[in-house]
Structure 1
Amino acid sequence: MLLAADVGNTNVVFALFEGLEIKARWRIATDPRRTGDEYAVWLLQLLKIEGYERTAITQIIVGSVVPRAIHNLTVLAEKYFGLTPLIAGEGEAAWGFSVDVDEPRSLGADRALNTIAAHAKYRGDLIVVDFGTATTFDAVDFNGAYKGGVIAPGINLSLDALVGNTAKLPRIAIEAPRTNSVIGTNTEDQMLIGVFWGYVSMMEGLIARMRAEIGRPAKVVATGGLAILFDQHTQIFDAVDADLTLEGLAILAERASR
């Protein structure tokens, strides 16, 4: 079985794959200081709870946007599983697609993995929207080449900035407003309208501009924690795929083992 680790700025998601099917997954807060031993105490217990022995894992792959975390995850793989992990984007796990931007090496692992999985699953010209700490919009052409994209503050970052830099605005939860009205009658409603519908308008506007610039029909694939919430309030997405980044890791690992 494959153990895949997707290291984001906020969380590390571990997933256990049999082929390209996810059998189990676990999430832990990202902390570059967390040692391989600390990961092992947590992960080995979860494997046991799910009924898996560590010997069932025959391959490990790590995709990370936090470079400092890679060393400790390598220690975890080597010390506790006896395996040398694949590092997404390096060596046998090189991306394998054209990166048509000014600085190809600056492409984040999460966006590269989304490119791989989206092209494999949906084909054609694509716009991949990933709701993470930042929200990214990536253009992938019909050949699977990465053509560039947009980086915007994630909705939680936007809310943090609003609350953190004002004296009287309260902390609110990210959720859909109770009505479609964009004229709020109290402070909390006005904030939620600004954050939520403002974000929907930003997404719809950017995607419309990207589609016009691509000049061909492009499917929009959304991933990340808030994709399902936004999908309920806009018609802009053609597909919502919560596991896109993890599936990119599994596809990359499968290619590397051929």
Structure 2
Amino acid sequence: MILAIDIGNTNIVLGVFNQDKLITSFRLATDHLKTTDEYASIIMLLLERNKIEQSGIKGIIISSVVPSLIYTFNKLCRKYFYQEPIIVGPGIKTGVKIHIDNPREVGADRIVNAAAAIKKYGAPVIVVDFGTATTFDVIDKNSCYIGGLICPGIKLSIKALHTGTAKLPEVEIGKPKRVVGTNTITSIQSGIYYGYLSMIDGIIEKIIDELSCDTKLLKVIATGGLGSIFVEESKYLDIYEPNLTLEGLRVIYEKNN
């Protein structure tokens, strides 16, 4: 079995694979102040509760957009699993050809998503990741990562609306029954949901124009915590893949072993 770890700004997602099958996954809050031992105690408990033997983990791969936690988890892998993890970054084989101004600037999670999307759906493909930031990653018909967009995440927008105003509350995101809200809560929910939906479809339309590809060949994949609520309404999102990043980590692990 291999342990895949994706360290994000808001959450840390872990998945255990038995060959190519994801058998369980966990989600932890990202905490810069937690020590190696504190993270280890939580992870060991979760593995135990899911009847996964620590000794059964034969490989570990990590992607991170939080540099300070790479050391923490690197130490955790060595101390508790007696293994040197693969850290996604320069020098690691990903199978993704990166054609942008500075390839080192691309977040590890975005390359991991691209690797999974190419493996599963081929190219061209667009990945929309609804995380702390909402990102669009574009892979052309030649399976080259050619860039993308970075937008404020949905939860960040809700928090900014709340903290930047005197009377607007912080609300839960969800799909409203109507576009026109009849009170403050539903008005905010509608503005966030339909505002983001329009942004998503509008951006994808412009990407399609730039790619000049046959839309019948193009797949548009949604991933990330809030992606599922937009797939049904969007004109372009084809499918929701909640474990795309974990799947990408497995693909890259295999390429490096």
> What's the TM-score bracket when you normalise by the shorter of the two chains?
over 0.9
Greater shift after overlay, 149-158 or 26-35? 26-35
Query: Contact between 2:10 and 2:132, CA under 8 Å: does it hold in 1?
Result: yes
Measured against aligned partners, the alpha-carbon deviations of 1:111-133 in whole angstroms (never above 9, x if no partner) come to 00010000000012111100000
> 1:29 maps to which residue?
29
Number of matched pairs? 254
Hey, what does 1:6 align to over in structure 2? 6
CA–CA separation in structure 1 for the residues paired with 2:73 and 2:248: 18
Runs of 4+ with deviation above 3 angstroms? none
With structure 1 as the length reference, what TM-score do the two structures score? 0.95
CA deviation digits over 1:206-254, x for unaligned, max 9? 0000011100022211111111111122232122111111101000111
Matched with 2:126 is 127
- Correspondence for 1:204: 201
Question: How much has 1:110 moved relative to structure 2?
Answer: 0.8
**3-state SS of the aligned residue for 1:72?**
helix
Q: Distance in 2 between matches of 1:238 and 1:53?
A: 37
1:224 matched to 2:224? The reply is yes
CA contact (8 A) 2:63 2:88 kept: yes
1:71-121 superposed Cα distances (whole Å, 9 cap, x missing partner): 110111101111000001244x33332211111100001100010000000
The residue identity in structure 2 corresponding to 1:144 is S
**Aligned counterparts of 1:204 and 1:225: Cα–Cα separation in 2:** 18
Q: What is the CA-CA distance between 1:184 and the residue it aligns to?
A: 2.5
Deviations 1:58-83 (A, max 9, x none): 10111001011111101111011110
- The Cα RMSD (Å) is 1.2
Aligned to 1:155: 154
CA distance in 1, matches of 2:50, 2:180: 48
- TM-score normalised to structure 2 length: 0.95
Give, in whole Å, the separation in 2 of the partners of 1:19 and 1:26: 18
Asked whether the 8 Å contact 1:116–1:144 carries over to 2, the reply is: no
Q: Distance in 1 between matches of 2:94 and 2:34?
A: 27
2:167 aligned residue: 168
Question: Identity across aligned pairs (percent)?
Answer: 44
Give yes or no for the alignment of 1:54 onto 2:54.
Answer: yes
Structure 2 CA distance for partners of 1:54 and 1:204, relative to 1, 3 Å: same
Asked if structure 2 preserves the Cα contact closer than 8 Å seen for 1:33 and 1:69, the reply is: no
Instruction: Report the Cα distance in structure 1 between the residues aligned to 2:2 and 2:86, rounded to whole angstroms.
Output: 11
Distance 1:185 1:127 in 2: 35
Letter in 1 for 2:170: R
Unmatched segments (≥5 aa) in structure 2: none
The correspondence of residues 1-258 of structure 1 with structure 2, limited to 5 A, is: 1-91=1-91, 93-179=92-178, 182-216=179-213, 217=215, 218-257=218-257
